[in-house]
Chain A
């Protein structure tokens, strides 16, 4: 058993719902006890969908247990078919129904419905949401994709991966379509988002596939590559460099010239990052955590395009640990692969970053520790399904990323003034960035107090404590941490002003 309060991912059937809800003309019958319908509100509330997800639940209760549940399941499948007349159905069990051992596939086959009914095996006690989405999409593609077209236009592709409840999937899709359009590449099918089962049958007409989110679509793309000889591009077009690499990779597959797209307007990020106000961003310590695709891309953008130092990188996607470890190594750090938010909190507290890029959970960890934060990955709350166009991908996505990463920080001039005039009432230590409201923020020091509780306390002399106050508050936590570390390693009984500066010298490289 695992003691859990917060989970980064839901169970695998939530992943299946994300695929089903993304599509049209598909219905999901889920063998699940009463109560599992809570999942509907993720879609109707967080994503503000104006229709119910296309999911029928059997909602069995205690009195139904026994031979009855299989019959309830069959009735639910038959009734759902009659009512919704889908082009295809998927059927499966949630965690409790998995224990009952009714066989959704066999039971629905026995009904002899005139449409494809695809059984899903989603092991709820081993796997999680993203795996469930990937497996569902793979099963759908495997069952429904028609044969490879005899003649394919080289400049046509499918876009695979966007789902319901995906982080900025709606807007990413618009950006990527724009890029492909600029290259003169036709989009054959987008799936799962917006696709019907009949559209999946046409997947074989495209020459190649564009995988936007490997967490969802890599399995399906690999299968299409094997069976349909469709190569795929998996380069995430996140950040300017990522987008350029994506455009070049896609253009190469389609045999078109990437230059017109790369020469077009592009992104404001490179100029904004070069403008002098951004000088203050240099080497700011950033901690990145999220799903693998977004964490890796955000770390690259943070380091190479904005000039931050990546001091922490991790993911909750165990399936993609290898990619994240490789990226972390490139930043000279070790990746954090965990789905335990307490481990993430401890790692953030220890790394003492000046900015956290993460999920909704890291937003709250950062708030507790008094560190600025931007959300870059699911899981997200309702505010991260914005009404405005807010992609992560493409050149406009790079603009969005620049604003998102920099906004929680002080603007350069403001930070400069705070450091220079920190004894003035307007620019005192506790002042929050002016654009984030005037309220004083928790000092970063609290992070240190919360972190290594096991370590013996180190005593500060009054003079050293006073000297520490002169350090700008946004790096004071780090200074305190480093000094105490330094003192502890040398078993110094008292931290003096001398110790403070010895430690500063020791840690400045």
Chain B
């Protein structure tokens, strides 16, 4: 509907767009967060739509006794707020009776709960007092009116920060839910660099609460952590600026930034990262042949788009037509933006039909988009890569660089194979 261009002297050309947005809400991030924090439960307070959304996003996971559920607001809950709090207490008690293994309960706000101004913060404080010390109860918003997709993780982690113990000692905190395998690789590399102690947010269990203080340096592993970063800075922690660890180059620069902050000699960085860089280079070669010169269009989804575009352009030789992102944190993404080719069109926000018009007109070789758009675009003979997989698949770090490239080359290889 509206498109305001704000060209910078050099670097990418960033536009802001407003209109219909084909994106998930923050509730969706529960689907990977609950797997990361193994004794946490996520209780969405919302409508049948919220339950249906999570069911649709979780696919077959819904049948595996996952640690999330929805307290569906019914008509009688809308009548009076006092009643709603009693109802919520009843639902929480029933839930904890069924799941005595739960140590951390998140009350997750939704659009309906926010519009009726159900105070989940107060409910969490009350329930926390009642259920202590067995269960801590926190709240955050995953609603579509407040959050887009991965921002749900940001809101969740930000809710954890005030709860972290204080510590004056120097330490590194890596922030953002990563697959366990990736987390372990990073822990090894950072330890080999001589950085320590290294801790991760979120921890794998509710009891793992990384201490924070003025000597904590934190390194973002994901680009969508605006509120979490702010909350950490309120606790005195200091961010280490770095591009995100996607691809061999991204991983090296990310590790090097941490090493610099901890005074590690550059030679040691080269020595520690050499085996990983060599393996990644080998893994990426075959994929580069398929992606070099391919014109790529990225629809907004997760805020991973800018670092992904940087990887595709610099390491895979792809040409970028447009890089959409739901939000653009200019500070957190400064290092990645600086590595994009001059003049790259970066669009913050979305006006879906206008963006589809641009995509169709450009006829990209590969379009990265959500599942609602992928088959319709394939139906128009455009090759697509559905983006949500980038959140569920381990893609960060050296050992995953080849897998990351593979996610983009597979649709192209497939299109080349099919003859019927």
User: Which A residues contact B (CB, under 8 angstroms)?
Assistant: 1-7, 9-11, 13-14, 33-42, 44-45, 48-52, 56-62, 64-65, 75-76, 79, 83, 94-96, 99-100, 123-126, 128, 361, 364, 381
Return chain B residues, CB-CB under 8 Å to A58: 20
- Interface contact B77-A1, CB-CB below 8 Å: yes
Query: Considering only CB atoms, which chain A residue lies closest to B68 in the complex?
Result: A5
Q: Is the interface of A mostly helix, strand, loop or mixed?
A: mixed
Q: Is the CB of B145 within 8 A of A3?
A: no
Q: In whole angstroms, how far apart are the Cα atoms of A6 and B330 in the complex?
A: 39
Spell out B's residues near A (CB within 8 Å): 1, 20-28, 45, 47-49, 51-53, 55-57, 60, 62-63, 66, 68-75, 77-78, 84, 87-88, 90-91, 94-95, 111-112, 114-116, 143-146, 148, 353, 370-376, 378-379
Per the bound structure, the CA–CA distance linking A381 and B372 in Å amounts to 16
CB atoms of B49 and A1 under 8 A apart:
no
Question: Contact between A11 and B144 (Cβ–Cβ < 8 Å)?
Answer: no
With A1-B72, A34-B25, A59-B20 as given contacts, are A14 and B373 in contact (CB-CB < 8 Å)? no
Which residues on the A side are within 8 Å of B112 (C-beta)?
95-96, 99
- Chain A contacts of B57 at CB under 8 A? 38
A364 to B65, CA, bound (A): 11
A50 lies within 8 A of B144 (CB) = no
Q: Do B72 and A4 touch (CB < 8 A)?
A: yes
Contact indicator A7/B55 (Cβ below 8 Å)? yes
Identify 12 residue pairs between A and B in the complex whose beta-carbon atoms are under 8 Å apart, listed by A's number: A5-B51, A5-B62, A7-B55, A34-B25, A35-B144, A44-B372, A51-B379, A59-B21, A95-B49, A96-B49, A99-B112, A125-B75
Taking a contact as CB atoms under 8 Å apart, the answer to whether A35 and B74 are in contact is: no
Nearest CB on A from B180, distance (A): 24
- CA–CA, A490 and B63, complex, Å: 38
- Smallest CB separation, A150 vs chain B (Å): 43
Question: In the complex, which of the residues B52, B114, B115, B353 contacts A11, with contact meaning CB atoms closer than 8 Å?
Answer: B52
- Kindly list chain B residues whose C-beta atoms are within 8 Å of the C-beta of A59: 20-23, 144
Q: Are B49 and A5 in contact (CB under 8 A)?
A: no
Residues of A within 8 A of B20 (CB): 56-59, 76
Q: Given A1-B71, A7-B55, A76-B20, do A124 and B47 touch, yes or no (CB 8 Å)?
A: yes
Task: Assess whether A34 is in contact with B23, with CB atoms less than 8 Å apart.
Answer: yes
Question: B148 and A125: CB pair below 8 A?
Answer: no
Complex Cα spacing A14 to B56, Å: 12
Q: How far is the CA of A397 from the CA of B374 in the complex (A)?
A: 32
Q: For residue B26, which residues in chain A have a CB less than 8 angstroms away from its CB?
A: 35
Give the distance to chain A from B117, nearest Cβ to Cβ, in Å: 10
Task: Give me 20 other A-B pairs in contact (C-beta within 8 A), A1-B73, A61-B145, A99-B112 excluded.
Answer: A1-B77, A1-B91, A3-B70, A5-B69, A5-B70, A6-B63, A11-B52, A34-B23, A35-B25, A38-B25, A41-B370, A57-B20, A64-B145, A65-B115, A79-B353, A94-B49, A95-B47, A123-B75, A124-B49, A125-B74
B84 is contacted by which of A1, A5, A45, A52 (Cβ under 8 Å)?
A1
B72 to chain A, nearest CB (A): 5
Q: Which residues of B contact A61 (CB under 8 A)?
A: 144-146
Chain B residue numbers with a CB within 8 Å of A100 are 115
Chain B, residue nearest A100 (CB): B115
Once the chains bind, are A3 and B94 in contact (CB under 8 Å)?
yes
B71 touches which of A2, A50, A60 (Cβ 8 Å): A2
Complex contacts, B84 vs chain A, CB 8 Å: 1
Q: Which residues of A contact B77 (CB under 8 A)?
A: 1, 125
Q: Point out the residue from A1, A34, A40, A99 that lies within 8 Å of B372, measured CB to CB.
A: A40
The answer on a CB contact under 8 Å between B145 and A33 is yes
Among B25, B62, B378, which residue has its beta carbon within 8 angstroms of that of A6? B62
Nearest residue, chain B, Cβ from A52: B376
B143–A33 CB distance below 8 A:
yes
A75 & B1 in contact (Cβ 8 Å cutoff): yes
Tell me, in angstroms, the Cα distance from A58 to B145 when the chains sit together: 11
Contact A44 B375 (CB under 8 A): yes
Q: How far is the CB of A14 from chain B (nearest CB, A)?
A: 7
A365 to chain B: closest residue by CB: B63
Contact A2 B370 (CB under 8 A): no
Contacts of B373 in A (CB 8 A): 40, 44, 52
Partner among B62, B72, B376 whose Cβ is within 8 Å of the Cβ of A2? B72
Q: Specify the chain A residue showing the minimal Cβ separation from B43.
A: A3
**A48–B1 touching, CB < 8 Å:** no
In the assembly, what is the distance between CA of A123 and CA of B353, in Å?
Answer: 29
Q: Which of A14, A50, A364 contacts B379 (CB 8 A)?
A: A50
A3 touches B24 (CB 8 A): no
- A75 CB to closest chain B CB (Å) equals 7
Residues of B within 8 A of A124 (CB): 47-49
| Chain A: minimal CB distance from B183 (Å) | 28
A59-B21, A96-B47 known; A1+B74 contact, CB < 8 A = yes
B378 lies within 8 A of A50 (CB): yes
Q: Are the CB atoms of B375 and A49 closer together than 8 Å?
A: yes
Given A50-B376, A124-B49, also A41-B145 (CB < 8 A) = no
Cβ of A128: which chain B residues have Cβ within 8 Å of it? 48
| Docked complex Cα distance between A83 and B324 (Å) | 22
Q: In the complex the two chains form, what is the Cα distance from A11 to B50 in whole Å?
A: 9
Inter-subunit contact A34/B73 (CB<8 Å): no
> Smallest CB-CB separation from B379: which chain A residue?
A50
CB distance A79 to B1 under 8 Å?
A: yes
Expressed in whole angstroms, the minimum distance between the Cβ of B224 and any Cβ of chain A is 15
Identify the interface centre among A41, A79, A124: most chain B CB within 10 Å of its CB. Answer: A41
CB–CB B23/A37 < 8 A: yes
Residues of A within 8 Å of B95, CB to CB, are: 3
Establish whether residues B63 and A33, one from each chain, have CB atoms under 8 Å apart when the complex forms: no
Q: Given the complex of chains A and B, what is the CA–CA distance between A7 and B378 in angstroms? A: 30
Chain B residues in 8 Å Cβ range of A1? 45, 71-74, 77, 84, 87-88, 90-91
